[in-house]
Structure 1
Amino acid sequence: MSDDVEYMHQSIAQSIRDHGIDTMFGLVGDANLFLANHFVSACGGTLVPAAHEGGTVLMAQAYTQASGKVGVATVTQGPGLTNCFTALREGVVARRPMILLCGDTPVTAPFHPQNIDQREVVKATGAGFEQVKAPETASRDVATAFYRARKERRPIVVNIPSDFMWAEVKHQTVVFPAPNAPTVITEGSAHEEAIGMIASARRPLILAGAGAVPAKDNLIALAERLEAPLATTLKGTGLFKGHPNNIGYFGTLSTAGAYDVIGAADCIIVFGALMHIFTTDRGELLKGKRVVQINNSESDVGRFYQPDAVLVADAAQTADNFLYWLNEAEVAPSGFSRELPSHDVSVHPKGDPEKSTDGCINLEFALDRLNEALPENRIMLTDGGRYITEVWCRVNVPDPNSFHMSDNFAAIGQGMQQAIGAAHGDPTRPVVLFMGDGGFMMGGMNEFNTAVRTNRDLIVIICNDSAYGAEHIQMLDRQMDPSLTEFDWPSFSEIARSLGGQGIEVTSPKELEAAIEAIEARKGPIIVDLKLDPNNVPRMRI
């Protein structure tokens, strides 16, 4: 063989670099070892070695959100893929464009012990499947996967039979232009009907979701013209922070004051939001109101609530269009924002340290104090558990893109992996992860050392009630013995130190201050273990 011979595994690795990707998350095995090696040794890429295959997929998903690039992960055949099942489903529900390069057993070895129909496994998760059809098509197949990931906004699994890996090929650079749907401005009867509802409203309110984040300034201009309050969904968190019209969350996470404002509104103008059951409090918050929904995806309209008027359109340009017609028609401002209370209705009442029980700290107080003390330029992630709604209500983020929700599939134990991915996606900022004790034991512990090995700036706050909290409450509500939901865990602070990081336990306000000092002086990943009374943790706000 001459030195200039190229092989398919090299072509695939180079195809990843051709798409501007210099970081890949992986766990190597027989069927993906050589492409991962070439990505590092010859393409100048970095491989982040995870401890579990599912972790690679979750890391790549958070990398996508933090970096704006398509995250890439790689795993081996058979159990390497099946270990990614829940993580792939998370990416589908969260709409995370990413690529999973998955080796497969040789097509000539149907009785291989790791053989499984990988297409059917992937299909069951809702992710996309792209087959490498032949060695000579590999670079084009990878390019197609990147295109599909962006266009379909979901993970795409690239299936690579291992008996192709050493086939001789001539690499061709193939990169398809990013899909670019034209911006839509509405007109006609639907548009006129929506304008009429807004113009006639006496107390309009503007609600923004994740799809309206780029339209922030346009929505503020419309709100100021209408003198309308501004609110967000969970995934729009922090979008209007600091604006005098801001009332914070719309839905079950709202403060009592915000609920009153929402109750007084007569028209809700919704930009870029699905109007989930928790956003609308199962429709209760929208009763007796006119609802105008603007979304650039027709499939996202009417999934949870049927609005009175629908515009499938761009949020920013539609807001500008509304503003133009309001001015043309000389519609008077509503004056609704002038009715807002003098205090900030977006902020929940402070927690009381005196409500702590012996050996535990009050969760609301601890979160309020951490919100003040944690680095302001943080990226924040939350794992699943009953504590999370309290975190969402009390711990701020600089902007919606700095907030990552890791349990879109309602699966706990996925936060640590995504925190590591976010820390690689934007290494200039500290990453703060809030997770429960069950989530840490399920998926956090096995990847904390990955954060240590890769030297990430990661602050982990474990809300530790020594229980599966949501289930604990259900047992108590039915006067049943909750012992099946309770656990005698090992010391998480000691685990953190044994895995190469820092760890500190908090059972009192004084120890919380010591933990804050440790966070400020951190040299690497740190775990703060908040000891909570399982019978004194607020119920979820859902």
Structure 2
Amino acid sequence: MSQPHVFKSIAHGVKDHGVETMFGLMGDANLFMVDSFVRDFGGRFVPAAFEGSAVLMAAAYARVSSRVGVATVTHGPALTNCITALTEAARAHVPLVLLAGDTPVDNPRHLQGIDQRELVQTTGAGFVQLRSPATVGKDVARAFYRAQVERRPIVLNMPVEFMWETAAYEMQVLDVFTTPGGVAEGEVLDNAIGMIASARRPLILAGGGAVAARAQLVKLADRLEAPLATTLQAKSLFNDHPYNIDIFGTLSTPAAYDLIAQSDCIVCFGTGLHDFTTDRGKLMKDKRVVQIDADPTAIGGGMHPDAALIADAGLAAETITYWLDEAEIPASGFTRELDTETLTAHPAGTARAEEGFVNYVHALERLEEALPKDRVLVTDGGRFMTEVWCRVSAPDPRSFVSTVNFGAIGLGLQEAIGAGLAAPDRPVVLFSGDGGFMMGGINEFNTAVRLGLDLIVIIANDSAYGAEHIQFVDRQMDPSLTQFHWPSFAQIAKSLGGDGVEVRSDAELETALTALRDRKGPFLIDLRLDPMDVPPMRI
């Protein structure tokens, strides 16, 4: 039998890892691989309008589907266009493989030549070199293995001169062990359990690394009679539990913030405890902190815990519960003191607004009521998102994607597309600011139209860069440099093949919500907001 070309072997290796959908843009160094993935192996290729968008789509696809996301770009500027997206995905701990073509090794003066390894390293992503035509299977397998065990993007470098060479292909898939085999015993475990057992007001906090351990964490919390909270990345994990206080930190309700202040021991599972979670350390002051994470680098990253365990969240929770039972430790009784009616209730909004604008909080409350309940919720970055996180629900953490791990704006619509393809039978709701939509949304809105996605885009439009606008206002300075006269986003949505409605009053909001029920494809609601009357950011 004739030996396959390298481009076909790469596509074969990707397919061997169970990949059905690949996002990307084609160029000189990857077009034949993409063609083979589709024609020879039955894969689906989703072309983006911009290379960084492809990485973001793959990242959201991975988050919602719990599979490795896959994207591909060609060399030179195609990869440099992915830097922000790779950084976002790396900081979000997303398992993702980016197949990146590279210029010929024997032409160091190639116009699009660049040191890819050095470039990728700055983003926090990993790098795997395709070493030779004979090692394709092993190199592809290593990229997928590392993406899963390191929980970050891995860039697989594919030299263009290899593509039409031939070599035997051998299937290579490395088994991945993602759960530690046990919890540390001895003094470390004893100290942690001792702190938990002696607490009178313990609280269980779950982050993105503990999403799969919901049942074990609930059992531990019920055993301790401790309330449950999450970080933003685990939003909605404890929906419907009677002692769920929702998001922990600067996004907490006033009642939940006070409850956290009263607690004396925070047991943290799968969270890095950054400044927004701890309110820059204030919420952890004078408390015992037990931190449990499968990732050793997460321990002590945000603050120094009193006890730490390197362990899977579910296994650790089971172990702690077992020893509490063995020692016959009584429940704390903390939850018996709680007024559950106020724990998750944020202050209500008002319909009052200046002429030509809608009140943002009131609009969010109406959207929470009217949007499809089985939604996947995606949020861009920016001033408006904190109220969305607090007031708009998601069914579970896998149905919530926030693009704020790098503090960037303009990443939301791209991730909404990836989320939509990972959950094709469910509507996706994206909240974005006007600046973020102009920066990264317009160029991919038509991609959503081409794909026929059930996508609802809500633009919080104050015709300004809001976070900067409010800083000028707070200092009694002229904010005009932050203000813009954007085109009509509703008309842009229509020109790109979707539908859109502009909302400047409560009556128009109700009309938009009625039209929403009859949508046929991507649908945009442009909420016109007064830049002087928007709730301040909570982070």
TM-score (norm 2): 0.97
* 1:430 equivalent in alignment to 2:432: no
Q: What does 1:145-156 align with in structure 2 at a 5 Å threshold?
A: 145-156=143-154
| CA displacement at 1:360 relative to structure 2 | 0.9
**Residues matched between the structures, number:** 539
Cross-structure match for 1:409 = 406
| One-letter identity of the residue aligned with 2:123 | T
- Equivalence map 1:308-319=2 (5 Å): 308-319=306-317
- 2:40 counterpart of 1:42: yes
CA distance in 2, matches of 1:169, 1:265: 63
2:171 partner amino acid = T
Report the counterpart of residue 365 of structure 2 in structure 1: 368
SS in structure 2 of the partner of residue 412 of structure 1:
coil
Give per-residue Cα distances to partners, 1:419-441, cap 9 Å, x unaligned: 11111122121111111100100
Q: Equivalents in 2 of 1:325, 1:527: separation in Å?
A: 53
Counterpart contact for 1:147–1:179, Cα < 8 Å: no
- CA change 1:226–1:526 in 2 (3 A) is same
The alpha carbon displacement at 1:390 in A equals 0.5
TM-superposed deviation, 1:158 = 1.3
Mapped to 2, the partners of 1:181 and 1:213 lie a distance apart of: 13
Query: Structure 2 matches for 1:20-59, cutoff 5 A?
Result: 20-59=18-57
In the other structure, the counterpart of 1:453 is 450
Pairs within 5 Å for 1:257-268: 257-268=255-266
- After the TM superposition, list the runs of 4 or more consecutive aligned residues in structure 1 that deviate by more than 3 angstroms: none
What is the CA–CA distance in structure 2 between the aligned matches of 1:230 and 1:14, rounded to whole Å? 45
Q: Could you say which residue in structure 1 is the equivalent of 2:331?
A: 333
Q: Does 1:192 align with 2:176?
A: no
TM-superposition CA deviations, 1:364-420 (whole Å, max 9, x none): 111111111111111111101001110000000111111111121111111111111
Corresponding residue for 1:359? 356
Cα distance in 2 between the residues matched to 1:530 and 1:327: 53
Structure 1 residues 108 and 515: CA distance shift in structure 2, 3 A:
same
Pick one of 485, 495, 499 that aligns with 1:498.
495
Deviation by residue 1:11-58 (Cα, 9 ceiling, x = unmatched): 111111111111111111112111111111221111101000111111
- CA distance, structure 2, for counterparts of residue 247 and residue 175 of structure 1: 42
Aligned to 2:521: 524
Aligned to 2:289: 291
Q: Is the 8 A contact 2:180 2:294 kept in 1?
A: no
Residue type of the partner of 2:268?
V
Q: Match of 2:441?
A: 444
Matched-pair contact (CA < 8 Å) for 1:186–1:318: no
Q: Which runs of 5+ in 2 are unaligned?
A: none
Q: CA deviation at 1:342?
A: 4.7
Residue 239 of structure 2: aligned partner = 241
1:5 is displaced (CA, Å) by 5.3
**8 Å Cα contact 1:294-1:310 kept in structure 2:** yes
Indicate the SS of the match to 2:157. strand
Aligned to 2:93: 95
Paired amino acid for 1:431: V
1:61-140 to 2 correspondence within 5 Å?
61-140=59-138
Give the stretch that moved more between structures: 297-306 or 171-180: 171-180
CA drift of 1:314 comes to 2.4
Report the Cα distance in structure 2 between the residues aligned to 1:5 and 1:313, rounded to whole angstroms.
Answer: 45
Give the direction of change, closer, same or farther, for the CA distance of 1:179–1:201 in structure 2 (3 Å limit): closer
Note the C-alpha offset of 1:349: 2.1
Cα RMSD (Å): 1.5
Structure 1 gaps, min length 5: none
The answer as to whether partners of 2:26 and 2:73 remain within 8 angstroms in 1 is yes
From the superposition, tell whether residues 362 and 284 of structure 1 become closer, same or farther in structure 2 (CA, over 3 Å): same
Task: Tell me if structure 1 keeps the 8 A contact 2:243–2:340.
Answer: no
Instruction: Give the equivalent residue in structure 1 for 2:218.
Output: 220
The alpha carbon displacement at 1:330 in A equals: 2.6
Please report how far the alpha carbon of residue 350 of structure 1 lies from its aligned counterpart in structure 2 after TM superposition. 2.1
Contact 1:247 1:344 in 2 (8 A): no
Deviations 1:501-523 (A, max 9, x none): 11111111211112112222111
Which residue identity does 2:236 align to in structure 1? G
| Pairing 1:136-175 to 2, within 5 Å after superposition | 136-175=134-173
Contact 2:94 2:151 in 1 (8 A): yes
Could you tell me whether the CA contact under 8 Å between 1:433 and 1:458 is conserved in 2?
A: yes
Aligned match for 1:270, one of 268, 271, 275: 268
Q: Deviations for 1:435-468, whole angstroms, at most 9, x for unmatched residues?
A: 1100100010000100111111111111111111
Higher mean C-alpha deviation, range 340-349 or range 269-278: 340-349
Q: Secondary structure at the match of 1:65?
A: helix
Q: CA deviation at 1:181?
A: 4.4
Q: Distance in 2 between the 1:288 and 1:5 partners?
A: 67
Paired-residue identity, %: 59
Contact 1:351–1:364 (CA under 8 A) maintained in structure 2: yes
Structure 1 distance, partners of 2:399, 2:370, is: 17
